[in-house]
Chains A and B, each alone.
Chain A
Amino acid sequence: MKRLVMALAVCAAGLIPLQLQAAGDGHLNMGMVLEPPHLDPTAGAAAAIDEVVYANVFEGLTRIDRNGEVKPALASSWEVSEDGKTYRFNLRDDVKFHDGTAMDSADVVFSIERAIAEDSVNAQKALFEAIESVATEGAGTVIITLKRPTGHFLFNLGWGDAVVVGEESADGNKANPVGTGPFKFKRWVKGDRVELTHNEDYWGEPAKLATATFRFIPDPAAAVSAMMAGDVDAFANFPAPESMVQFEADPRFTVVIGSTEGETILSTNNGRPPFDDIRVRQAIAHAIDRKAIIDGAMFGYGTPIGSHFAPHHPAYVDLTERYPLDLEKAKALLAEAGHAEGFKATIKLPPPSYARRGGEIVASQLREIGIDLEIIPVEWAQWLEQAFRGKDFDLTIVSHTEPMDIGIYAREDYYFDYRSDAFSGLMDKLAAEVDEKARYAVMADAQKRLADDAVNGFLFQLAKHGVWNAKVKGLWENSPVQANDLTDVSWEK
């Protein structure tokens, strides 16, 4: 026994300096909940892919910065024609892929044509829908012609799904991503971690870290232990809001509650009775107490929303009082719709805690006005199959995490089955409008339209629970796009 204790003490003594040394060298261990299925952001919807490679390994013509603004990346500048249909991108001439090949206009054209091709497996093909043609003008210029003016086109090009890939390396990107970013892919120990190293030949401001490792820890309790034991230096989005208090109390950690692009909504099947009746949806809106849901399900983290729009966006309109909490009014609306006695319905809840916990609270709130909800827990794959594709649901709770995704309400045959010519008209107007002020006005109208129609129960904007070693500087506080941009991250000396 004595010998065992000695052996353990020796190894412990060996371990601790090792950790300190790794920190001093500029190494970051970043924790993530989900492991990406592969590492090609142009061939999958999983946010985890972008959270590893976006801005670190791969870059696009433009990039979205920490404030959600569009910044030049591989294109150093651009000009937009008067009619808003022709974009002329001037590329940087000093960019090399990690395999040593030069990045030029041919790669950009290849990347875009690959994304819009017939057999493309790009999960966000809609981003490129407006593109009519793409052409080169020498090695340094790319000209993209659109079918119609598209106001958010530069933002769209900043998505992870629109990064520029090399013609020679594209097919291998899933397992061995070759990009142009400040970090090079080193290796991927599947199920455990992805390792990145500093790119010596980076065209821009070099990354401050020498190496970075993304470690995948699905279990919230394990994530707490990993942070406490120092195995992981940062969790950009910690999986368990209930643990934030513990980290806040510990001076070793910085806790930052930021915002995400995730509008968490009580999705309502607008095509199925009785929810096709606007009075029923309005009754639900009057019966929902957002604060109770945020406190109960998210431990107080989250911003109430009254429509499908992120509160940190400059065009946001606060519509949370459009249907104030008023049970009498809710019951009156139900009675008016012919459901004075209430009715039975189901709510399908996918695995995230916002849905499972939130759903129980919503069910108890709706019971107050006589709507008796049967709770059906489903896994993601079932949710996608049944609720999302099959439209086989009454109510469900889900967070729509794509940035600026109000346009989904204009999609034909989308899962919540909302049809409104007025709203679609607004979206067409928005797409054609290039002037920022005018765009914001249209966005405001669109938000009001959705709130008036009480399309879904608008609950709250998902918070981003960041926790990291207090000596780590430069991580993003918010996530305007799905990313863990490590470009500016460094250790305080």
Chain B
Amino acid sequence: MTLFLVKRLIMLVATLLVAAVVVFSVLEILPGDPALVMLGVSAQPDTLAALRAEMGLDQPAWLRFFQWVGGLVTGELGRSYTYDVPVSELIGERVVVSLPLAVMALALSTMIAIPLGVIAASRHNKTLDIALTGAAQFGIAIPNFWFAILLILLFSVTLQWVPAGGFAGWDAGFWPAVQSLLLPAFALALPQAAILTRVTRSSVLEVLQEDFVRTARAKGLSRNAALWRHAVRNALIPVITILGLQFSFLLAGTIIIENVFYLPGLGRLLFQAIAQRDLIVVKDLVVLLAGSVVLVNFLVDVGYAVLDPRLRSGGGHV
């Protein structure tokens, strides 16, 4: 188990280092001068030079790379070019929107998908199964931004139950904050839930064919007991894999939903930072997101090991 963890941790650090090199080089090649973006079309050359010097852009690239990576290691993320505040502060303000949103969406999709998937599997090829599979297909096919717009039209514009977007802020109280995240979380969760339902269904079906399930039934366990006690637990490994992937997707891939609901989250920060050439924010965010993806994968691996004792020896992999 220890060897397994150490190997995984080394992988984690190596991946992050590669991500840092790649994002730095890509942004060096990308056309667009942050100073020019800030000062616009009327700026004079000496003003631009002054701003570039102020932002440290007049130094050579290799020096800036080592300063940046050194800063990351010591937890110093640098200052945003455009906002002129520490990047850590910017990210901190956004994480409190994106993280709860991702967790809510993940919780919603799990709560919807796992029971539905198991039920569909247990009613294999019956009407309910066909209906649920059909609904899941529909859920996968619906783009989440379009679903989001429908939700807004119904719940915000017509019924006026929840705001059409924006984030009330946690200091406005727990409920108003959760309220502003409800629709976006639901819009995000639906397609994820649809995918997860299908994965759960097919995984449970597969496990139901296994010998040990037949043995459990032969021992006299009822169909449901065998299903819930033996099959579901074993069927969860692929489900957890998908969940891990989905969480990374939810954290990083909410750009569209955050735009539709104008939520001040990480996705929108990244989007704005790219457009404004706030390169330091882009770099920090990409490494942070890469880090969170790698970390979640690490946790998923640990999760396998907990669910399947055979994996703890560090040898096999699913």
A179: CB under 8 A from chain B? no
Contact of A190 among B93, B157, B277 (CB under 8 A): B93
CB atoms of B262 and A218 under 8 A apart: yes
Q: Which residues of A contact B265 (CB under 8 A)?
A: 191
B-side interface residues, number (CB < 8 Å): 56
Query: Which residues of A (72-114) have their CB < 8 Å from a CB of B?
Result: none
Query: Which residues of A (147-186) have their CB < 8 Å from a CB of B?
Result: 174-175
CB atoms of B50 and A228 under 8 A apart: no
Contact of B50 among A45, A118, A389 (CB under 8 A): A118
How far is A415 from B36 in the complex, measured between Cα atoms in Å?
14
Q: Rank and list the top 3 A-B pairs by shortest CB-CB distance, nearest first.
A: A191-B264, A45-B40, A381-B32
CB atoms of B43 and A385 under 8 A apart: no
Contact of A120 among B38, B50, B263, B276 (CB under 8 A): B50
Query: Which residues of A (1-17) have their CB < 8 Å from a CB of B?
Result: 8, 11-12, 15-16
Min CB–CB distance A44 → chain B (angstroms): 5
* Interface stretch (choices A121-129, A197-205, A269-277): A121-129
B16: CB under 8 A from chain A? no
Q: Which residues of B contact A16 (CB under 8 A)?
A: 160
Q: Which residues of B contact A35 (CB under 8 A)?
A: 272
Query: Which residues of B (156-197) have their CB < 8 Å from a CB of A?
Result: 156-157, 159-167, 169, 175, 179
Residue in A closest to B256 when the chains form the complex, CB atoms: A219
Min CB–CB distance A337 → chain B (angstroms): 29
Q: Which residues of A contact B268 (CB under 8 A)?
A: 191, 218
A435: CB under 8 A from chain B? no
CB atoms of B47 and A123 under 8 A apart: yes
Q: Which residues of A contact B278 (CB under 8 A)?
A: 37
Residue in B closest to A227 when the chains form the complex, CB atoms: B164
CB atoms of B165 and A231 under 8 A apart: yes
A402: CB under 8 A from chain B? yes
Residue in B closest to A191 when the chains form the complex, CB atoms: B264
CB atoms of B83 and A231 under 8 A apart: no
Query: Which residues of A (21-73) have their CB < 8 Å from a CB of B?
Result: 35, 37-38, 44-46
CB atoms of A231 and B84 under 8 A apart: no
Q: Which residues of A contact B164 (CB under 8 A)?
A: 222, 225-226, 228-229, 231
B28: CB under 8 A from chain A? no
Supply 21 A–B pairs (Cβ within 8 Å), ascending by A.
Answer: A12-B160, A15-B160, A38-B84, A44-B38, A46-B38, A120-B47, A121-B50, A123-B39, A123-B47, A125-B43, A125-B47, A192-B167, A219-B259, A221-B260, A222-B259, A384-B33, A385-B33, A385-B36, A388-B41, A400-B41, A402-B42
Q: Which residues of A contact B51 (CB under 8 A)?
A: 121
Min CB–CB distance B313 → chain A (angstroms): 47
Chain A contact residues, CB within 8 Å of chain B? 8, 11-12, 15-16, 35, 37-38, 44-46, 118-126, 174-175, 189-193, 215-219, 221-222, 225-226, 228-231, 379-382, 384-386, 388-389, 400, 402, 405, 408, 415
How far is A222 from B149 in the complex, measured between Cα atoms in Å?
8
Q: Which residues of A contact B38 (CB under 8 A)?
A: 37, 44-46, 123
Per-residue interface assignment for chain B, residues 129 to 158, with 1 indicating a CB less than 8 Å from any chain A CB and 0 otherwise: 000000000000000000001001100110
CB atoms of B262 and A381 under 8 A apart: no
CB atoms of A12 and B159 under 8 A apart: yes
Min CB–CB distance A396 → chain B (angstroms): 12
CB atoms of B41 and A45 under 8 A apart: yes
CB atoms of B31 and A385 under 8 A apart: yes
Residue in A closest to B80 when the chains form the complex, CB atoms: A37
How far is A218 from B272 in the complex, measured between Cα atoms in Å?
10
B275: CB under 8 A from chain A? yes
Q: Which residues of B contact A11 (CB under 8 A)?
A: 161-162, 175, 179
How many A-B residue pairs lie within 8 Å, measured between CB atoms?
167
CB atoms of B260 and A190 under 8 A apart: no
Q: Which residues of A contact B160 (CB under 8 A)?
A: 12, 15-16, 229-230
Contact of B31 among A12, A121, A219, A386 (CB under 8 A): A386
CB atoms of B31 and A228 under 8 A apart: no
Q: Which residues of A contact B262 (CB under 8 A)?
A: 192, 215-219, 222, 226
Per-residue interface assignment for chain B, residues 190 to 221, with 1 indicating a CB less than 8 Å from any chain A CB and 0 otherwise: 00000000000000000000000000000000
CB atoms of B149 and A381 under 8 A apart: no
Min CB–CB distance A405 → chain B (angstroms): 8
Per-residue interface assignment for chain B, residues 23 to 38, with 1 indicating a CB less than 8 Å from any chain A CB and 0 otherwise: 0000000011100111
**Known A37-B83, A123-B47, A216-B262: A231·B166 in contact at CB below 8 Å:** yes
B114: CB under 8 A from chain A? no
CB atoms of B90 and A190 under 8 A apart: yes
Min CB–CB distance A329 → chain B (angstroms): 33
Q: Which residues of A contact B222 (CB under 8 A)?
A: none
Query: Which residues of B (75-126) have their CB < 8 Å from a CB of A?
Result: 82-85, 90, 93-94
Residue in A closest to B175 when the chains form the complex, CB atoms: A11
Q: Which residues of B contact A44 (CB under 8 A)?
A: 38-40
Contact of B43 among A45, A191, A415 (CB under 8 A): A45
**Known A37-B38, A384-B41: A122·B47 in contact at CB below 8 Å:** yes
**Known A121-B50, A221-B149: A189·B276 in contact at CB below 8 Å:** no
Q: Which residues of A contact B68 (CB under 8 A)?
A: none
Q: Which residues of A contact B162 (CB under 8 A)?
A: 11
How far is A229 from B275 in the complex, measured between Cα atoms in Å?
29
How far is A115 from B3 in the complex, measured between Cα atoms in Å?
61
Contact of A217 among B43, B46, B90, B165 (CB under 8 A): B165
Min CB–CB distance A265 → chain B (angstroms): 12
How far is A276 from B166 in the complex, measured between Cα atoms in Å?
49
How far is A229 from B157 in the complex, measured between Cα atoms in Å?
4
How far is A391 from B40 in the complex, measured between Cα atoms in Å?
15
